[in-house]
Amino acid sequence: MTSKRGIFITLEGGEGAGKTTQIQRLKNKLESAGKKVVTTREPGGSAGAEAIRKLLVEGDTHRWDPMTEAMLLYAARRDHVEKSVAPALARGEWVISDRFYDSSTAYQGYGQGLSLSILDELRKLSIGDLKPDVTFILDLPVEVGLKRAAVEQRYERMGIPFHEKLRQGFLAIAKAEPARVKLVDANQPVEAVETAIWKIIQETL
Ligand SMILES: Nc1ncnc2c1ncn2[C@@H]1O[C@H](COP(=O)(O)OP(=O)(O)O)[C@@H](O)[C@H]1O
Ligand SMILES: [Mg+2]
């Protein structure tokens, strides 16, 4: 296919890692450089996916078994891709998503023990071969992130050992796909994280 395609960037990491903060800064920088930028988030990012989001971020921590949760996430993700991400990319715009499928791999796979190959099958079934052009994993000690995170919703309440598994999962994801996934030390001042991300953008895109 030779149709014009935009650039797809995702930010990943635990709660309070600084994803939302950095996405706003990256958006500003890209817009200053004359790019058209769409920011979005998961779970959510489209009307249908935002409705599913409520089922995921609210309520009892054990309300879903991991497979049900993964299917809800991928149902939301498919809608998000179809309604928001793919159309923007087709228009040639830059899309920055606050979380994408690496979060399902980290949370439901490494965190909750669901088979990584099942998650990969679900991914292909739901969104085909769509992959981010570059993914930033904002890494920092669990306690630092949870201290930064203001709201205490369902995922935040899952406990330190769970969030430790999550962190190790994200590190494994970065190691497995070094061409796409870039690890960023998020335990430094906002400006330093911003500079690290911008440097990688300039080097890779
Ligand atoms: N590098 C940083 N150092 C210190 N505090 C930060 C940093 N990045 C973000 N914060 C603060 O931590 C909190 C969580 O940041 P946020 O961007 O919302 O994280 P996330 O979206 O990953 O959960 C916010 O109050 C934010 O201002
Ligand atoms: Mg956020």
CATH code at position 115 = 3.40.50.300
* 28 found inside a domain: yes
Q: Is residue 1 part of a domain?
A: no
Residue 194 has pLDDT above 50, yes or no: yes
> Residue 34 domain-assigned?
yes
Ligand 1: distance of its center to the CA of 81 in Å? 26
pLDDT above 90 covers what percent of the chain?
92
Residue 134 inside a domain? The answer is yes
Q: Is residue 2 part of a domain?
A: no
Mean pLDDT of 98-112: 97
Of 104, 52, 48, 38, nearest to 79 (Cα)?
Answer: 48
pLDDT at 156 (0 to 100): 86
Closest-lying ligand to the alpha carbon of 23? 1
The string of pLDDT tens digits covering residues 42-81 is: 999 999 999 999 999 999 999 999 999 999 999 999 999 9
The predicted structure's pLDDT at residue 4: 59
For the stretch 117-171, pLDDT in tens is 999 999 999 999 999 999 999 999 999 999 998 778 898 888 899 999 999 999 9
How many angstroms is it from 189 CA to the middle of ligand 1?
Answer: 10
Query: Ligand 2: distance of its center to the CA of 27 in Å?
Result: 15
Q: With a 6 A CB cut-off, is 20 part of the ligand 1 pocket?
A: yes
pTM of the model: 0.96
Nearest alpha carbon, ligand 1 atom 2: 190
Per-residue confidence (pLDDT) for residue 1, from 0 to 100: 39
- The tally of domains found in the chain comes to 1
Point out the ligand 1 atom lying closest to the alpha carbon of residue 22. 17
Residue 105 lies in a domain: yes
Q: Is residue 45 part of a domain?
A: yes
| Burial of residue 144 (number of CB atoms within 10 Å: 0-12, 13-18, 19+) | middle
For 30, the domain range is 7-204
Quote the mean pLDDT of the chain: 95
189 pocket-lining for ligand 1 (C-beta < 6 Å): yes
Please check whether residue 128 lies inside any domain of the structure.
Answer: yes
Alpha-carbon dihedral 99, 167, 178, 82, rounded to 10 degrees:
-20
